[in-house]
Chain A
Amino acid sequence: DADVTQTPRNRITKTGKRIMLECSQTKGHDRMYWYRQDPGLGLRLIYYSFDVKDINKGEISDGYSVSRQAQAKFSLSLESAIPNQTALYFCATSVATGELFFGEGSRLTVL
């Protein structure tokens, strides 16, 4: 089983719908991240969390919210999806100053 698991892997939705992407990890890492990947723009940080009570905005947090339900679980929500949120979303974990371990990605299409 993957150490960092994202669900769903693919989702097509309509403008205005609420969407939740979920991430769970078995690596025991305290730090968790949500990134968005777009062609030509690379990976951009949406939110990050260093422990259950710590949530921080990244560079592109507008239109997104997160919840850290437990050390192992970090979910990303789009309250009212819009087409320019169509992208590949990655959850990642790390130890302090360490490498990021990524999930397989969740491909979201907003029509």
Chain B
Amino acid sequence: QKEVEQDPGPLSVPEGAIVSLNCTYSNSAFQYFMWYRQYSRKGPELLMYTYSSGNKEDGRFTAQVDKSSKYISLFIRDSQPSDSATYLCAIGGDYKLSFGAGTTVTVRA
């Protein structure tokens, strides 16, 4: 079993829709919960970073963590064509992050 499982997608949504991305993990010792965004032919870049259960908002993005269920989500509100990218969840501890396989999102204008 992989340490981190991510809903594979791909997702194609119209502009303005809400995008929902999800990951589950197996190691209850994991402390850090991140979402990275990766544009085509680029390296991943950090989008959201949280330590605790609950919601964290940053503009149109909301990261949600449920440690009891070992489940994390990323919501993108009012999605834009510029949000078209691959989104990777990353979960881990002090020295190592385990990444999900990524979900490719396309936002249609």
Check B59 for interface membership: any CB of A closer than 8 A: no
In the assembled complex, the Cα of A58 lies from the Cα of B3 at a distance in Å of 14
B43 engages A42 (CB within 8 Å): no
Contact of B34 among A4, A99, A103 (CB under 8 A): A99
Which B residues are within 8 Å of any A CB, using their own CB?
A: 4, 6, 8, 32, 34, 36, 41-46, 49, 88, 90, 94-97, 99-102
Minimal Cβ-Cβ distance residue in A for B3 = A59
Contacts of B6 in A (CB 8 A): 42
B43 engages A103 (CB within 8 Å): yes
In the assembled complex, the Cα of A42 lies from the Cα of B6 at a distance in Å of 10
Contact with B along A64-100 (1 / 0, CB 8 A): 0000000000000000000000000010100011011
Contact of B99 among A42, A50, A99, A103 (CB under 8 A): A42
In the assembled complex, the Cα of A40 lies from the Cα of B102 at a distance in Å of 7
Check A111 for interface membership: any CB of B closer than 8 A: no
A33 to chain B, nearest CB (A): 9
A43 engages B44 (CB within 8 Å): yes
With A40-B8, A97-B32 in contact, is A102–B43 under 8 Å at CB?
Answer: yes
A42 engages B88 (CB within 8 Å): yes
B56 to chain A, nearest CB (A): 14
10 A-B pairs with CB atoms under 8 Å apart are A42-B101, A42-B102, A43-B90, A48-B96, A50-B95, A100-B44, A100-B90, A102-B45, A104-B41, A105-B41
Ranked 9 nearest A-B pairs via Cβ: A102-B43, A42-B101, A43-B99, A99-B46, A42-B99, A102-B44, A104-B43, A103-B43, A40-B101
A45 engages B96 (CB within 8 Å): yes
Contact of B95 among A4, A48, A103, A104 (CB under 8 A): A48
Check A12 for interface membership: any CB of B closer than 8 A: no
A42 engages B100 (CB within 8 Å): yes
Contacts of B95 in A (CB 8 A): 48, 50
B105 to chain A, nearest CB (A): 15
